[in-house]
Structure 1
Amino acid sequence: MNPLKKIAFLLLLLNNFCFASNNSDTTLIKSHLTVLTKTHKFRTYQNVDQLNETANYIKGIFEKYADSVYFQEYEVNGQTYKNVICSFGTAHKKRIIVGAHYDSCGDQEGADDNASGVVGLLELARLLKGQKLNQRIDLVAFSLEEPPFFRTVFMGSYIHAKSLMDSKTEVYGMISLEMIGYFKDEKKSQSYPLGLLSLIYGNKGNYITLVKKFGAGQFTRKFCRTFKSAKAIKTKKFAGPPALPGIDFSDHLNYWNFGFSALMLTDTSFFRNKNYHKSTDTMETLDIARMAKVINGVFGTLIKL
């Protein structure tokens, strides 16, 4: 091989390496999902020891990559629960929050709901390490999103959002990763809160959805535009009034309540995944390849904002 071809070949290898390093690793995704879902006890609010074990695992992964990592602890009925927070680009004042809850509802693995979102955080932490950022990015794993604490002041996301408001932190916006791993290509695999929406969005559950309320703010508009333009995965955008069933069914609702611009990134939950809150919500039902593409899309958008 002549010297010029050798240099070109090495540059190609270097380019391929750099491209690969900025993409989600499906092997790591499977490994994280296994740790989070194949546990001795389920990740419910009753099993505080299991929640603590999960929080420690998340913190340990965050510590490999982030500028800072800490627990945000709070008490509910005499028990201590923890949000796990890590930060990148801490020199910046304005910040973006990316959150996902790690508790599950009842005696089930909670693979899509919401180990998938938590794995999204873990992979984002790896991808964000060493990146040049325009804003500070905080990744937050929330406790107590599920009933009986949903829509109460005991949600981990409420505790976190309130702390940002109380400290007058400058928040650019928030993204809630809520069920990002379930996809179906079959006809009639997707339903909607209003049947007529199938005429607009189709009846196949083969896309990820960016969900926001009307007037959700500048951040959500820019995030949605940038995410869709990247074309990492088939994406649809949905905007509606907060009263529409399902539009606020995750942690972003607490950021809305405190006046922050926020959206939910989701596979549409029970409108598609019929394993929702059932023992059949296992990691074997997830589409790891498309889940990786969702994470790639979030990462690519974050570094451009």
Structure 2
Amino acid sequence: MAYEHTKYLANEIGQRIAGSENERLAEQYIFNQFKQMGFETEVQEFTYVRRGAEFKSSNVIAYKPGKSKQQIIVGAHYDSVSVGKGVDDNASGVGVMLETAKVLEKIKTPYSIVFIAFGAEEVGLQGSNYYASKMTEAEIANTISMINLDSLAVGDHMYVHGSAGEDGFLRDQALAIAAKKKIDLQINPGLNPAYPAGTTGDWSDHAPFKRLGIPYAYFEATNWEIGEQDGYDQTADHGGIWHTSNDTLEFIEATYPGRIQKHLTAYSTVLTDLLKFANKTSTAK
């Protein structure tokens, strides 16, 4: 399912530049998928200013009630840049989110889940910043973690990052799930002192929630052992794929046969089990 959603967003819709008609088409596709699953779904419209011009975008929000009213936010941005087709960055994250939502459709999870497809991430995290800015103090206190899915398809290694200390509990639980299922999920090894082991930078949709004091987990595929050791160079052979003309299904599948299917399956498996068994009993808010 994740692969088919990724393929549709990238090949049927194509580039999904923030504020464009194609971004709107992607919003409608994602909204319809969540509605078909029976989730309470809404579109959160917002505007932003860039280079003196005003643009419109939106977040798609789907709510799945759980055993507890405390919630986990799962997010992935659906816009892309103006080169390539945004397969890796970030149709892949949306695909994994939609597959996981479908698998969990009839399963009672420990926590309620808010699935969010963020608009306009590529132009300054506009969607996630807007959503976070509208959260009330009660909603912030009620959110035990935010899980971010960004660029999962093509990097040499699969990673999960997280908050420091005890707030990294979902990262640690994801690692345990992966180990049990023999999935090679790693952490940033901390070779670059600017990014301690197990953490990452504030360049994706987890950042606005981190600033609110909400713990995060962040799934991505890249290679933290090459280049500047900051995760930007995703592959040893071709460097970064995101934000380049190589971010297409044709290039990824020809150059790395089977990698996208392996990654999407692995991430969907880990994320599904993580949401089924998430546990923060010792530090619950």
TM tier, smaller: 0.7 to 0.9
Q: Determine whether 1:299 maps to 2:272.
A: yes
**Secondary structure of the equivalent of 1:300?**
helix
Q: Which runs of 5+ in 2 are unaligned?
A: 223-230, 253-258, 279-285
Q: Distance in 2 between matches of 1:40 and 1:254?
A: 28
Distance 1:272 1:232, change over 3 A: same
Partner residue in 1 for 2:132? 161
What RMSD over aligned residues (CA atoms) do the two structures have, in Å? 2.5
Distance 1:248 1:232, change over 3 A: farther
Aligned pairs for 1:265-276 (under 5 A) are 265-268=219-222, 270-273=232-235, 274-276=240-242
Q: Which runs of 5+ in 1 are unaligned?
A: 1-27, 184-204
TM-score scaled by length of structure 1: 0.74
Q: Distance in 2 between matches of 1:272 and 1:165?
A: 37
Measure how far apart 1:225 and its partner are.
4.5
1:60 maps to amino acid: N
Deviations 1:36-80 (A, max 9, x none): 012465211242x11111000001111121431111111124432
Distance 1:287 1:178, change over 3 A: same
**Secondary structure of the equivalent of 2:59?**
strand
Measure how far apart 1:122 and its partner are.
1.0
Partner residue in 1 for 2:281? none
2:159 maps to amino acid: T
Measure how far apart 1:95 and its partner are.
0.3
**Secondary structure of the equivalent of 2:134?**
helix
Could you say which structure has the larger radius of gyration?
1
Q: Distance in 1 between matches of 2:138 and 2:55?
A: 25
Measure how far apart 1:258 and its partner are.
0.9
Q: Distance in 2 between matches of 1:39 and 1:100?
A: 19
TM-score scaled by length of structure 2: 0.79
Identity %: 26
Structure 1 window deviating more from structure 2 (91-100 vs 227-236): it is 227-236
Measure how far apart 1:288 and its partner are.
1.1
Partner residue in 1 for 2:162? 212
Deviations 1:196-242 (A, max 9, x none): xxxxxxxxx2x311112433615435534543344352111237699
Partner residue in 1 for 2:204? 250
Greater than 4 Å deviation, 4+ residue runs:
239-243
Task: State the aligned residue count.
Answer: 250
Aligned pairs for 1:20-169 (under 5 A) are 28-39=1-12, 42-47=15-20, 49-77=21-49, 78-89=54-65, 92-147=68-123, 149-150=124-125, 155-166=126-137, 168-169=139-140
**Secondary structure of the equivalent of 1:94?**
strand
Asked if the contact 1:73/1:80 (under 8 Å) is kept, the reply is yes
Q: Distance in 2 between matches of 1:218 and 1:211?
A: 8
1:300 maps to amino acid: D
